[in-house]
Structures are given as structure tokens and as C-alpha cells.
Amino acid sequence: MVGLYPEYPPLVRKRFSLFADFVRVDSLTPTFRWKPLILAAVDPSDSQGYISIQNATYEIRVWRTVSTGTGKLVYARKQLTATVHRLEKPLEPGTNYLWSVRAHFEIDGRSRLTEWTMAGYLLRREAVPNDSCLRFKTP
């Protein structure tokens, strides 16, 4: 698992499988949820021992699958302040989708971002989306 941890749709993987299953969601406009960004890096110059992050926001993308491991971008939102987001436009019924989320934040006034959330590891030179993206299917 790479990146932020998904809560819904959940990450479901069969035993010994490299990739996640396509999990059926409850709606054509599902509500995505993920764990918030938490960094616990040690800062030797800080008496508390931790680096503090500021201005954390999230970016989500959803792709309709078009072939194994690839997709067509159908939904994207940036600068989300919550770790929950309901899609604002309905998706196609009975369709497989890939999704991912990442965090944007600042440390000492410098912009940073996390990797896109993946169910597996991103292989060298592999683009997003790919087979390691989170997966779901519409009713």
C-alpha cells in the first residue's frame, strides 16, 4: 500500500493477488473516504521532536477503465479540505473504475505532496493510472 489509506470504497485484495478487486459501490455518485495525512517525521531542531505540516488539502481522480491498467479520466477535484468527497456527477452504471487520492501540504512554507494512493507498488516508469490503483465498480 502506497499513499493515503482508503476507507471507502475499501481496499479488497484476494490472497496472493497483486492487484485489488473491483469493489461494488452503493451509488452512481459514491462518497469516497480516506485517512487524513499524518506525518511523524523527527525534527531535531524542534523541542517536540515532530515536523508540523500546514495547509493540507487533497486531490482525487477517478478513471473509467478502458483496458487493463489504464483509464480515461472522468472526474478530478483539487484543494479538498476534508477526507471525504461525494462525486458531483454520476458515473456510468455497471462500469469498472480506478481511483486515487493524494495530499498537498506545506512544511516550513515549502510545498510538498504525497504519492498517489496505490494498492500495490508503483513500478519504475509506470504512469498513473495503472493496475495498482484503487478499484471499484458501479451498480
pLDDT tens series, the chain, 139 aa:
788 999 999 999 877 777 789 999 999 999 999 999 876 555 556 656 666 788 999 999 999 998 766 789 999 999 999 999 999 999 999 999 999 999 999 988 899 999 899 887 666 566 788 878 899 999 9
Alpha-carbon distances, residue 114 vs 2, 14, 56, 80 (angstroms): 9, 26, 11, 14
The pLDDT score that the predictor gives to residue 107 is 85
63 neighbors 71 (Cβ within 8 angstroms): yes
Q: How far apart are CA 98 and CA 36, in angstroms?
A: 20
Domains along the sequence of the chain with CATH: 6-137 (2.60.40)
The pLDDT score that the predictor gives to residue 47 is 57
